[in-house]
Amino acid sequence: MASKESEIQSIKQRFGIIGNAQLLNHAVEVAMQVAPTDMTVLITGESGSGKESFSKIIHQLSPRKHGQFIAINCGSIPEGTIDSELFGHEKGSFTGAHEARKGYFEVTNGGTIFLDEIGEMPLATQARLLRVLENGEFIKVGSSKVQKTDVRVVAATNVNLLNKVEQGKFREDLYYRLNTVPIFVPPLRERGTDVELLFRKFATDFSEKYKVKPITLTPDAKEILLKYRFPGNIRQLKNLVEQISVLSPDKKEINAGELAYYIPKESTLPAVYSQNAPENISEREILYKVLFDMKKDVNDLKKMVLEAMANPAQAAQLIKDNANLFESVRLEEKKPSTEVVLNISPVQPAEHHQEAAEEVQDISHVAEDDSLSIEKKERELILRALRKNNNKRKYAARDLGISERTLYRKIKEYELEED
């Protein structure tokens, strides 16, 4: 047992992996066990969590370590050229193909290919990849000649591929072929005090790089660091430490107030759901959940309104019985003109029944006017990310947790080119 732990520590040190979280150590152990084989590996984890490091462990500890290792981001290659990039093309096979070109699967024969963001690979390319995995065969673009290659494939994704399979955006047979051995890389927020170790490591690195004092944190600042969720994971933490190191070169110790200045404010989501949200759920999932819950409540309100209109005398009692709907559908405080305040006593005189029915009709109009669409919110999130990053799509995509290709598609879909 002790030898296994020391071996894991040795591997982490060799590949620059910092931390002692149990989930992290388990991921390293699985990578070590599968490395000597030729089995296909699927690495899952959030963007910025360090998935590429595990692909390097698998390659360097394998018999292919003397062969070539190529890392490819499938989300950054345009759909029209990805087949040529991976499998090569013949001269004249398409406009601009002035000469024949070898693809990555031919160049890396005998080595390892790391396919990052595999979920963004087009369906036609997925079919070609499946043939390579099953038979070691591929055909260049514009050719009919079948060629052989001996390449080990390690894939990675930050999305749920099974959901993509259900949506018809990812081949089911390819998913199970890739997922021969799964490795889960935990997000930073699930690694406990590893965040402190990483902070110190980055502080030392940037101290040497910029010739400044290495920054440290006061105890209250450490509490803030440990509580922050770091949606961008290790990449975000590294950028944070670099920013503090550069902008506070004369400060040796950073207190809570100073650290809070550098940490981005987390989005404020409706309390109806965010207070009880599981730790491992993303902000986008929370937002979608809120929107779907609101839509359900609006539909329930409409049903109640129809019943109240059919029986005006029972309107007050219907409102009382469905008071929970008015608790969950909170209208924005910035729109006082649309707010509805109901003062309902346990028993109301008959002359108030008509008034209650009219109030219910007003509520139905407000509910419809205040209904939200996921598309509208998604458009707003994309706009905010683009503005925050001065229209630099690479960084906007990173903040949104999607690939650049997906962001380009959304920009075109929502006609945001001129925004």
As a whole number, mean pLDDT of residues 169-185 equals 96
How many Å apart are CA 127 and CA 129, to the nearest integer?
A: 5
pLDDT in tens, 322-357: 655 555 444 434 444 433 344 434 444 444 445 544
Q: Which DSSP string do the residues of 135-203 spell out, in sequence order? A: HSEEE-BT---EEE---EEEEEESS-HHHHHHTTSS-HHHHHHHTTEEEE---GGGSTTHHHHHHHHHH
Q: Is the pLDDT of residue 273 over 50?
A: no
Q: Is the pLDDT of residue 275 over 80?
A: no
How many Å apart are CA 170 and CA 175, to the nearest integer?
A: 7
* Contact indicator for 38, 28 with CB cutoff of 8 Å: no
Q: 215, 277, 289, 292: which is closest to 246 by C-alpha? A: 215
* CA 17 to centroid of chain Cα atoms: 21
pLDDT in tens, 20-36: 999 999 999 999 999 99
Residue with tokens 């070169």: 249
The 3-state secondary structure of 216-267 reads EECHHHHHHHHHCCCCCHHHHHHHHHHHHHHHCCCCCEECHHHHHHHCCCCC
Phi, psi at residue 216, to the nearest 5°? Answer: -130, 170
Q: Is the pLDDT of residue 276 over 70?
A: no
Residue 278: which pLDDT band, with cuts at 50, 70 and 90? very low
In angstroms, the first-to-last Cα distance of the chain is 58
Could you tell me the sign of the dihedral formed by the alpha carbons of 252, 255, 259, 261, in that order? negative
How many Å apart are CA 123 and CA 102, to the nearest integer?
A: 22
Q: Please report the pLDDT score of residue 391 as a whole number.
A: 83
Q: 358, 332, 333, 334: which is closest to 342 by C-alpha? A: 358
pLDDT in tens, 57-112: 999 999 999 999 999 999 999 988 999 999 999 998 888 888 999 999 999 999 99
Q: What is the DSSP letter of 115?
A: E
- Interior/surface letters 330-369, b for 16+ CB within 10 angstroms, e for the rest: ebeeeeeeeeeeeeeeeebeeeebeebbebbeebbebbee
Q: 163, 167, 169: which is closest to 122 by C-alpha? A: 169
Report the 10 Å Cβ neighbour count for 287.
20
Per DSSP bridges, beta strands 69-73 and 152-157 are unpaired
Q: Please report the pLDDT score of residue 326 as a whole number.
A: 56
* CA 129 to centroid of chain Cα atoms: 24
Give the type of residue at 110. G
* CA 307 to centroid of chain Cα atoms: 43
Average pLDDT of the chain to the nearest whole number:
82
Residue 319: which pLDDT band, with cuts at 50, 70 and 90? low
Collapsing DSSP to helix, strand or coil, 4 comes out as: helix
Residue 286: which pLDDT band, with cuts at 50, 70 and 90? low
pTM of the model: 0.65
As a whole number, mean pLDDT of residues 218-222 equals 95
Q: What is the DSSP letter of 91?
A: T
- Minimum mean pLDDT range among 255-259, 293-297, 304-308, 385-389: 293-297
Q: What is the DSSP letter of 67?
A: S
Q: Which DSSP string do the residues of 18-38 spell out, in sequence order? A: ----HHHHHHHHHHHHHTTS-
Residue with tokens 């690694």: 191
Strand order across the 69-73 sheet? 69-73, 112-116, 152-157, 41-44, 181-184
How many Å apart are CA 86 and CA 103, to the nearest integer?
A: 5
* Contact indicator for 181, 41 with CB cutoff of 8 Å: yes
pLDDT in tens, 389-401: 888 888 888 777 7
